Amino acid sequence: MTKTPAILVIAAATGVAVTIGILSGSIVRPVAAQAGRTILDGVYNDEQAARGKKLYVVSCSSCHQEGLQGADLAPALKGDDFVLKWAGYSMQDLFDKIATTMPGDAPGTLAPQVNADIASFILQANKFPSGHEELKPDAPLLKAIAITPKPPAP
Ligand code: HEC
């Protein structure tokens, strides 16, 4: 007759406990709770967008224009075409585009917080609602926010 040594039983039980701990613990849960958020859910706040507007005027409006309508130098950053182009991507994708390729004349020179503030202003300019919390320059959080078009006006 073979008897399973007690130490193996404990190891197996601990393994299960650790697995459950990881699945329900703080590593996975925040992301799971965030999943399903979209830019319709108030992912920035008004103070941040106001900061972002000032930063946008300094670093972006020379090409994209103060009203974000774009011109010969650069495309519009507001309007249906812009939003539809990005629909299906995440805020991390848009953030990355800005962080790595913009401003067009000095790519990658702006701090992550500056880019997050400007991204929040772009959301505001496209009439996506503000909320309580700021949009944080944090890749996993940004990745969990989907860009969606606005529902058609009633
Ligand atoms: C020197 C001119 C210039 C400046 C300054 C500039 N951009 Fe751009 N931007 C461009 C050009 C040209 C394009 C189109 C080519 C491309 O997508 O890289 C563009 C494209 C973009 C796009 C993608 C647009 C789309 O239709 O997908 C975003 C977003 C953007 N810029 C954001 C910014 C932000 C935010 C700033 C300020 C931090 C900024 N840009 C500053 C020239 C500029």
Q: Ligand 1: residues whose CB is within 6 Å?
A: 59-60, 62-64, 73-75, 77, 82, 85, 97-98, 101-105, 110, 118
Residue 10 has pLDDT above 60, yes or no: no
| Pair (45, 99) in one structural domain | yes
Q: Which atom of ligand 1 is nearest to the CA of 82?
A: 26
| Pair (91, 70) in one structural domain | yes
Mutate which of 59, 60, 61, 96 for ligand 1? The one with the most ligand atoms within 8 Å of its CB, which is 60
**Number of compact structural domains in the chain:** 2
pLDDT value of residue 129 = 97
Residue 7 has pLDDT above 80, yes or no: no
Residue 80 lies in a domain: yes
Mutate which of 54, 56, 64 for ligand 1? The one with the most ligand atoms within 8 Å of its CB, which is 64
Condensed to tens digits (0 to 9), the pLDDT of residues 12-69 reads 444 444 444 444 444 443 444 445 799 999 999 999 999 999 999 999 999 999 999 9
Q: How many angstroms separate the CA atoms of 52 and 121, rounded?
A: 5
Domain that holds residue 7: 1-30
Q: How many angstroms separate the CA atoms of 137 and 30, rounded?
A: 16
% residues pLDDT > 70 (the chain): 77
Mean pLDDT is lowest, of 59-68, 74-83, 143-152, for 143-152
Residues 6+ away with beta carbon under 8 Å from 32: none
Residue 151 lies in a domain: no
